[in-house]
Amino acid sequence: MDDMEKIRRESMRWHILKALNPKRSYPVSELFIFNYLHDIAGLDGVTRRELRRELDYLELRGLATLEKSLSKKPWRAGLTSCGVDIVEYTVECRPGIARPKEKRRRRRREDREHVPMTLDARLDEINRKLDYLMDGGQDNE
């Protein structure tokens, strides 16, 4: 098995899930997914046969639902609750889908250095500031 083909398939599966996620309240046409793969994901050269093979795979894994047509009508696909969990990073992703590592929000430096004050310490700080202001902004020490 060629590694590049495997990477392409697994990447296509991830992008199919991503394409279905915003439209998960109703099934979308395979044409929508096809355009998403070409225009947004940058996967050029995807064929209808490849797309349908990966949609079948996702359905077998319980991540997508399919409305298949025996005629030449486009298939329609939807996302299952398990598929949503994969896209939203709420569950582990088994091998077979090239889901990137979750990007975590970096905490700002101020957030990391902030140590909450106790109520007594906060009241002492306020009293010192009030004393300073009452003395006309001059230190008496």
Q: Among 39, 54, 75, which residue's Cα sits nearest to residue 8?
A: 54
pLDDT class of 57 with cuts at 50, 70, 90: very high
CA pair distance 22, 78, nearest whole angstrom: 10
Please give the CATH architecture assigned to the domain spanning 3-87. Orthogonal Bundle (1.10)
105 pLDDT higher than 70: no
Which pLDDT value is given to residue 137? 65
**pLDDT at residue 83, as a whole number:** 93
Spatial separation of the C-alpha atoms in residues 57 and 37, rounded to whole Å = 16
pLDDT digits (tens, 9 = 90+) for 62-80: 999 999 988 888 999 999 9
Please report the pLDDT score of residue 87 as a whole number: 92
Give pLDDT tens digits for 33-50.
999 999 888 888 899 999
Q: 51, 34 in Cβ contact below 8 A?
A: yes
HSE, CB side, 13 Å, CA atoms: give it for residue 106: 2
d(CA 134, CA 126): 12
Query: Taking every pair of C-alpha atoms in the chain, what is the biggest distance, in angstroms?
Result: 91
Confirm if 58 and 9 have CB atoms less than 8 A apart. no
What length does the chain have?
A: 141
- What residue segments make up the domains of the chain, in order of their start? 3-87
- 3-class state of residue 66 by DSSP: strand
Q: What is the value of pTM for the model shown? A: 0.70
